[in-house]
Structure 1
Amino acid sequence: MKEHLRRWAFKTLLIIGPLAHGQTPIWIDPGHGGSDPGTVSLAGVPEKELVLDIALWMAESAKNGLDIGYPILLTRYRDTLISLTDRGLLPKMVWAKAIVSIHMNHSPNPLAKGIEVHIHRRGGPSERLAQKLVADLVVKLGMESRGIRTGDFQILREAPKDIPVLLVELGFLSHPEESRFLSTPLARKALAMILMEGLRDFFDNHNSMERKTYR
């Protein structure tokens, strides 16, 4: 393992505290960071800041009573650049129950809008979790769905194959209405809560089905 990654992983675990024995975390990956701003809102706010805020709200809600049954870890807790290779490697080091990479979209067409979720292949837990999160965001926030798509993003391709791994695009920073919405702290907190509630409900249902299977 690269020495810099070993040091970074150690610092990350110091930030979130030691995991209880036997607990498998859900990794939330706020995209971009550091010298990679991602796309930029119409007000000039970089994607890297907006998605980090959502991820931090998710981690905070887990500490303050929204129990989804698994610890929530972030691939970054501040404005740091983590390579795509390292993003894919860290969950393998500490194991993972699921991986959700959070991004925001951009298009040269200012009318393009809505959420979309990318998975590596159809079928299995990734598609089921994607369906759950898309449905929740549409119903609870009235967002438009652009559907679930297959993609060959590195974090999808290199992550463990038997767990849900998603890349979620939470709207277009190039769309006037969505850019204003995503730029508000209240909207980002709402997105974080809906994602967390979706994860909780998905794993509650998944674990209930597993218990019935093994009876």
Structure 2
Amino acid sequence: MKNKRNPTLKMNWKKTLKNVSFVILMLKICLVFGQKKIIVIDPGHGGNDSGAIGINGILEKDIAIQVAKEILNFNKTLFEDAYDVYLTRYKDTLISLRDRSRLAKSLDADVFISLHGNASRTQSKGMEVYIHASKTSWVLGTSILNETTGKLGLKKRGVKFANFQVLRETVAFCPSVLVELGFVSNKDEAYYFLSSRNIKAIALAVFIGIINYLKPGL
């Protein structure tokens, strides 16, 4: 049964997919001349830590793992494993913040992206990205933010600085960002996250944003 609530967010799915074939072709050319880049995706929370709870009961931890798994899937199906993509958790388990950053360090990751859902007591909406003090992290965060808000019609809330442990402990060895995908406390965005199609769209846009950072000019 379809949800009768129609989110006001606009999603240009076809536009996002339009350039995928070209990106794949260019990636194949680039990979001939270099090793695969390592991407670590960190789905926030997990286990008994649900994170924020949406007004419709949706859980932040579930949104994060769903988007992360779709990125993993897109890397395999659309980009033919052009990158080595790892998740800090693959199921509903709680991983310590220290272990999340340790994984990125042990893998010698090229980028670290932590995925979250936002919440507030007001009807705030949109996507924002947090970084620790790092120019390269700012470039990565901007790339992801521009791709997602530009393609999906989400409100752009900007790249902001924060002293989050998961960023502080990874920024020393790779660009690191924490992406707040949207507000589960906002009616439109909370119901937007219930659609598997929308989850796929967010995942692809985030992934393209990462690729644009790793392979500028594609």
Pick the TM interval, shorter chain. 0.7 to 0.9
- 2:146 counterpart of 1:135: yes
Alpha-carbon deviations, 1:132-170, whole Å to 9, x = none?
111111210110011111001011101142522000001
- 2:165 counterpart of 1:154: yes
Shift of 1:68: 7.7
Q: Is the 8 A contact 2:146 2:209 kept in 1?
A: no
List structure 1 runs of 4+ shifted beyond 6 angstroms.
none
Shift of 1:193: 0.5
Q: When the two structures are aligned, how many residues end up with a matched partner? A: 184
Q: Percent identity?
A: 36
Match of 2:119 in 1: 106
Q: How does 1:34-183 map to 2 (within 5 A)?
A: 34-66=47-79, 69-109=82-122, 111-122=123-134, 124-183=135-194
Letter paired with 1:140: K
Q: Is the 8 A contact 1:29 1:100 kept in 2?
A: yes
- 2:194 counterpart of 1:192: no
Letter paired with 1:62: N
Letter paired with 2:175: P
Match of 2:38 in 1: 25
Shift of 1:200: 1.4
Q: Secondary structure at the match of 1:32?
A: coil
Shift of 1:69: 4.1
Alpha-carbon deviations, 1:98-145, whole Å to 9, x = none?
000000000011x211111000015x2110111111111121011001
Q: Is the 8 A contact 1:68 1:196 kept in 2?
A: no
Distance 1:164 1:69, change over 3 A: farther
Larger CA deviation: 185-194 vs 67-76: 67-76
Aligned equivalents of 1:24, 1:191: Cα separation in 2: 21
Q: Is the 8 A contact 1:59 1:72 kept in 2?
A: yes
Q: Is the 8 A contact 2:110 2:175 kept in 1?
A: yes
Distance 1:68 1:134, change over 3 A: farther
Match of 1:213 in 2: none
Letter paired with 1:118: Y
Q: RMSD over aligned Cα, in angstroms?
A: 1.7
